């Protein structure tokens, strides 16, 4: 298992492809509870990777019910150092059209504070910079792979994460546009921040399903779901490109979590040591 370094977090449609084989499933326990599902060990073109359905098998977890800490911790425990997040989003910019992919490089957290967003709490304090929440080398590689897969893609942009599960009002949508945000979603925060705390290279592939309601055109939830299905077909082509590329040419990066913990080691309890042993491991 330790040889598998790459994981994908995304929707269930990703792994339903003839060329992607499910080889095994791993039930991982964490100090933070259970992840969304058992971690699937998959293979495409002879290359193995892990897959975690963010909302559980059958999509039964709302964005705020996802146990983001358990998800990231379980992947790091398996030896993952690279995470590709595949996420459906609405567009806040005219040029980012439905069926386009956007490799975002920034996040705005507009959730309501209900989500557990750090590994450092309950007697242990740590600080990790999220100035650059996305690993730029990984994001660029994903962009290049998407272009090879024939997908209209954009490199760079800001993802505003809302609580959900409701979509925005028009007033809210226009506020987010005023922030300079490019796309809107409900899941990548705190996922991206936790990956930084765990020393994992993380990048988002934001698949545009619709123009958020700022744009004066009618769009039903059913229409959004129809575009989402088409996006997953594109995502499957993309995965075939990117997995082999990352194994042939792994990215190199410096984890920013190595000096995060500032609590005196003499105060570390057994549970703290258990957590730190996993998330600080290179």
CATH of the domain at 165: 3.40.50.1580
Residues involved in catalysis: 210, 212
| Owning domain of residue 157 | 6-252+266-273
Specify which of 16-20, 66-70, 234-238 reaches the highest per-range mean pLDDT.
66-70
Nearest alpha carbon to residue 251 among 107, 101, 148, 140: 140
The pLDDT value given to residue 218: 60
In a domain, 261, yes or no: no
Angle 153-117-52 from CA coordinates, rounded to 5°: 55
Mean pLDDT of 106-133: 96
Q: Say if 208 falls within a structural domain.
A: yes
Number of domains composing the chain: 1
Q: What would the pLDDT profile of 229-277 be if each residue is shown by its tens digit?
A: 777 788 888 999 999 999 999 999 999 999 999 999 999 999 999 999 9
Residue 257 lies in a domain: no
- Residue 197 resides in a domain: yes
Better-predicted residue by pLDDT, 217 or 177? 177
Q: Is residue 24 part of a domain?
A: yes
pLDDT of residue 137 exceeding 70, the answer is yes
Sign of CA pseudo-dihedral 208, 64, 86, 12: negative
What percent of the chain is helix, strand and coil (3-state, nearest 5)? Answer: 30, 25, 45
Max Cα distance, the chain (Å): 60
Where are the strands (E) in the chain, listed by range?
A: 6-10, 20-26, 39-44, 47-53, 82-91, 101-103, 106-110, 153-155, 158-162, 183-185, 201-211
Residue 279 lies in a domain: no
pTM as predicted: 0.95
Residue 260 lies in a domain: no
Least reliable range by pLDDT among 16-20, 66-70, 199-203: 16-20
Residue 281 lies in a domain: no
């Amino acid at each position: 298992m330790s040889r598998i370094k790459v994981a994908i977090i995304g929707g269930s449609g990703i792994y339903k492809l003839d060329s992607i084989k499910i080889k095994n499933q791993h039930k991982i326990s964490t100090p933070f509870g259970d992840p969304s599902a058992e971690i699937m060990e998959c293979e495409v073109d002879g290359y193995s990777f892990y897959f975690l359905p963010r909302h559980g098998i059958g999509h039964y977890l709302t964005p705020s019910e996802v146990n983001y800490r358990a998800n990231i911790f379980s992947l790091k425990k398996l030896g993952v150092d690279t995470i590709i997040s595949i996420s459906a989003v609405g567009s806040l910019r005219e040029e980012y059209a439905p069926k386009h992919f956007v490799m975002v490089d920034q996040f705005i957290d507009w959730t309501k504070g209900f989500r557990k967003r750090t590994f450092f709490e309950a007697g242990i304090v740590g600080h990790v910079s999220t100035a650059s929440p996305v690993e730029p080398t990984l994001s660029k590689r994903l962009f290049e792979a998407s272009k090879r897969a024939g997908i209209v893609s954009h490199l760079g942009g800001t993802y505003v994460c809302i609580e959900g599960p409701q979509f925005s009002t028009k007033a809210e949508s226009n506020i987010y546009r005023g922030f300079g945000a490019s796309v809107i979603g409900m899941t990548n925060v705190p996922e991206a921040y936790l990956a930084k705390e765990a020393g994992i290279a993380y990048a988002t592939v934001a698949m545009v399903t619709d123009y958020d309601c700022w744009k004066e055109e009618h769009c039903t939830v059913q229409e959004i779901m129809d575009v989402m299905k088409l996006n997953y077909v594109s995502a499957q082509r993309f995965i075939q490109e990117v997995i082999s590329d990352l194994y042939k040419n792994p990215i190199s990066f410096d984890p920013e979590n190595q000096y995060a913990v500032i609590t005196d080691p003499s105060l570390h309890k057994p549970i703290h040591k258990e957590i730190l042993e996993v998330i600080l491991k290179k």
